Structure 1
Amino acid sequence: MASPTLSQRRRPLTPLKRPLRSRPPLPAEVTCPRARGRRIASNVAYLSLAELFCRACSVFVTLALMKRLGGSGYGRVEFAFSVVFWLVLLVRDSSDVMVARELSRHPRLIRPLVDHVLAFKTFLAVTLFSVLTLVGWFTLKDRSDWSILTLYGLMLFTTAIGLDFVYRGTERMGLLAVSLCLRTIFYGAGVLAFVGDASRITWVPIFLTVGEAGGIGLIWLSYLRTYRMPRPRFSFRFISILVQRGKIVCAIQLSQALIIAADVLVVGMMSLSTWGDVGRYGAQYRMVTIILTFGMIVQHATFPTLARLWRHHPDAGRDALDSLVEALMTTLTPLAVGVTLLAEPLVGLLGSSDYDGAGLLLAVGIWRAPLLNVAFCYQTTLIALNRETVGVGSLIVAAIGIGPLVYLMRTQFGLVGATAAVLIVALALVIAGFHSLAREGRQPAWHHHLGRPLFASLAMAPVCLFLVQWHVVLAVFGGAATYLLVLLATGGLDRTRHWRAAFHPIESPAPSPARAEVSPGSKM
């Protein structure tokens, strides 16, 4: 009798009877749900620890800059950074989100996609930098302000050559975490060592750009060892495909970026002659943005897996979304309550009269962190569902309307009116996002999980108010300990096991590669 190999050679191969060597082995994340769960947990842990380190350093450096530059100098830096930050997001999010989603599903496309994306982002960066320098030259009266804006604009080029999307799409976050830490270390060390007063204000954007370049260089070294030197290829066909498939996602990302930065941009444009107001407003804005970033990091880490769960296991995807929102609210609710109670003494740590009145701004503005995180989480879920067109309308309307609303509120109620306008828009986005998911039958049940965080936050409040009589740092740690104890007593910490399980549900074992290649009618 002929051997199986000879018999296979004599018969024509059907699509279901290909040789085993023609298919690569399935990755462990596909065949083993537990391995996928460990990958998600490690990714979130890597990025969370890196973000914790970066934000702690950023807070320290920001506080140092506030003291050394004064209210007026810090206002100039904050305004220029906010303008360039929005343009940086335009370069990054115009393609990275869509490409990361495709790479999470088709990892073999890494090399050609990198070639096309680098060419497209470089062209976009050159165009935006040219417009930025030209507009700044005609609108900014002080040439030093133009120099600061132009130096910050160099970040457009470091962003254009960044390859973070490769490692986000393939869920290899460890290297990204190290890269983020290096960027912060370079920037913080340079600023603390060389920027002693407002006379060296131009060194702030220089060290920020150098830090970004150092972290991106580490990503490049890893990419070159694994793949090859990129060969940028500018293709109008690729751009047309990217625009056609990613225009909605790009509109969502840019709208989110504009919503985050619109208030400080409007306040800056209205106060170009009084940089002190921009400094007071920018101080609380920077503190709130640091907290807001934590939730967005978690969303970025869970997005690829959330997309796969919604595609292959809708029930598991709904449970994962529910757990994600619950985790965000459990973390951000006590932060918002605590900062509201301790806003004045926290701002008092700056020790400068230039920031008088920033405490009220911080007490109101801190609530944008939970509201915007939940609103953006809903939009991220719609992208994972390939249903981004459902909720993009409300987001675009919010992005268009937030500028005029901030202007009107700023005119009528001062600086506190500007930050209150963002809260109005954020609350409207939460309602609209929940309604969009409800129409798809995918809405989370997060309102059922607010009881424990709210109860524990209320129990924390009197402890914070009592301990702040001695020192604000004592009030912070005392309030945090009280919140955790109350949450533990009510069973809130037990929910962490459910959150972990939600991202690696128990599934039926995937068929082995050998069994998958046997035709239904073949005999064993």
Structure 2
Amino acid sequence: MTTTARLTSAADRVGPKARKPAFRRPKGLRWVLVAELLANLIGFAVMVHLARRLGPASFARLEYAAAVAAWLLVLVRGGVDVIVYREAARRPSLIRPLTDVLIGLRGLAALTGYTLVLGLAFLAGPERGPVVVVAGLILFPSALVTDVGLRVSGRFGWIALAQVVRSLAYVGLAVSLVRNPSDVLRAAWSLVFAEVVGTIVPLVWHSCHLGWPRVRFRKRAWLVVARRGAIAGVIRFGRVSLYGADLLVLGWWASAELGSYAAARRIVFGFVALGLVLPASLAPAIARQWACGANLARGLIEDSLVRIWVLSLPAVLVLMVMAERWMPLLFGEHYRGGGPWLVLIAARLPWLLTASFIQASLIACRRESWVFDQTVGLVLLALVLVPAAAALAGPWGVGWALLALEIVAAVGGLRMLAKLGLSPRWYLWRHRLQGLLP
């Protein structure tokens, strides 16, 4: 083909008559949602087993340790992940070197995070400290997850398989090892070993298609990725701090009452974990659509927001109506007091998922600074509001304070979408809703 012909062909592709591609949801996303749903069902069954076997006091210690581990896990799987996924989606040829850089940075973050875990365990005292120490080990296998190629190429079936394998390992270990309140350390070890098993599936795919990861210290590459991921890392750390602020604040109570609150919270956050699959899975797709045009990105964002509300509102209503019956039925009479707390915590669900998805969408559209400003403001507000609410009204005050924060975050996120030209077209939601319902 001559140079003129090549230029003509290129002009035909990008000319005014060229038709823009319609947005398409990534293939395999349904498998991830199904796997996450299965994992949540299995995790819910394990949680009921642990709550009954451990009792409110030991279950509260386990939940506090798990909350600390999940909080610091953001240091490992934080903003650097977001940047690497985005850049690998834009430049697929860099998947392998970016994976090597990512694992190295994650390992460094895991060492830093576990140092903080040891400090918190010392402050927690001899009764709760050992559980925190064991649960914190989950940071290290999480650093070794080689999922960049899977997410960028849209092979979500492998990610779903890894989730199922992790869940089955967790249920097998927890059910076989935990039988009474003294087995709280075994419950923490079950979390760690299940995470180790979950890293095997993505590692197998990565080694077969791209070779074994080679972690090398490359100062320039590490600094560039870390610097670009710093803002997104602070954003994610702030969001997870808001997610777990109630347990992190109330965890110092070390009372049986916290066990009922933690059990109610786990029910709601099982739905949260399912809902957070959407922003994590769609962020690379939104980044690609944004590069092609704002209208394509807006279509994908609109469709996802409709799904969030269509799926979360019925779940909230069911949780609220059945709260008084479910708590003693599932966990026993010792947890009856958690029913009213379940109602309050469930009210956070749609607002939390909306705010999280909008923030992930803005980051995918390269507006990290906007989300950073919002997150810093929310964290500063929470530092004042949540401790004061805990001192004045205990768990009730903390629950109401966090509900208010989630509403503020969701409304603020919608305003930022409007500023970027991605505001959902409300008049089209009725048609999108008709396409989602049978």
Is 1:174 aligned with 2:157? yes
The runs of at least 4 consecutive aligned structure 1 residues that moved more than 4 Å come to: 13-17, 31-34, 446-449
- In structure 2, runs of 5+ residues without a counterpart are 8-18
Aligned CA distance change for structure 1 residues 391 and 120 (closer, same or farther; 3 Å): closer
Q: Is the 8 A contact 2:79 2:231 kept in 1?
A: no
CA distance in 2 between partners of 1:180 and 1:412 (Å): 40
Shift of 1:163: 1.1
* Secondary structure of 2:40's aligned partner: helix
Question: Which of the pair is proportionally richer in helix?
Answer: 2
Match of 2:297 in 1: 317
**1:375-433 deviations in Å (ceiling 9; x for gaps):** 11111121121122123212122123324322211222221211111100001111211
Q: After the TM superposition, which of the residue ranges 376-385 and 237-246 deviates more from structure 2? A: 237-246
Of the three residues 58, 61, 68, the one matched with 2:46 is 61
Q: Answer whether contact 2:83 2:229 (CA < 8 A) is retained.
A: yes
Percent identity over paired residues: 26
Greater shift, 90-99 or 68-77, is seen at 90-99
Q: Trace 1:96-107 onto structure 2 (pairs within 5 A).
A: 96-107=81-92
Aligned pairs for 1:318-357 within 5 A: 318-357=298-337
Gaps of at least 5 residues in structure 1 are 18-30, 453-490, 499-524
Work out the CA distance in 2 between the residues paired with 1:393 and 1:342.
38
Deviations 1:133-173 (A, max 9, x none): 14422x1222x522211111111100111112331122211
Tell me whether 1:92 sits opposite 2:77 in the alignment: yes
CA distance in 2, matches of 1:497, 1:332: 14
For residues 94-493 of structure 1, the aligned pairs below 5 Å read 94-137=79-122, 139-142=123-126, 144-269=127-252, 271-272=253-254, 274=255, 276-446=256-426, 449=429
Q: How many residues align?
A: 427
- 2:177·2:187 contact (CA, 8 Å) conserved in 1? no
CA distance in structure 2 between the partners assigned to 1:496 and 1:201 by the alignment: 43
The correspondence of residues 38-57 of structure 1 with structure 2, limited to 5 A, is 40=26, 42-57=27-42
**How far has the Cα of 1:59 moved from its partner?**
0.6
TM-score by length of 1: 0.77
Contact persistence 1:67–1:352 (CA under 8 A): yes
Aligned partners of 1:351 and 1:247: how far apart in 2?
Answer: 41
Give 1:131 shift.
3.0
CA contact (8 A) 1:283 1:358 kept: yes
CA contact (8 A) 1:325 1:446 kept: no
CA distance in 2, matches of 1:277, 1:215: 33
Please tell me the residue identity of whatever aligns with 2:208: R
**Matched residues in 2 for 1:327 and 1:141: separation?**
44
Q: Aligned partners of 1:78, 1:240: CA distance in 2, in Å? A: 35
Larger Rg: 1
**C-alpha distance in 2 between matches for 1:361 and 1:410:** 14
Tell me, in whole angstroms, the C-alpha distance in 2 between the residues paired with 1:386 and 1:351. Answer: 45
Whether 2:426 is the aligned partner of 1:494: answer no
Taking the aligned partners of 1:392 and 1:132, their CA distance within structure 2 comes to 25
TM superposition shift of 1:16: 6.0
AA at the equivalent of 1:207: S
Letter in 2 for 1:141: G
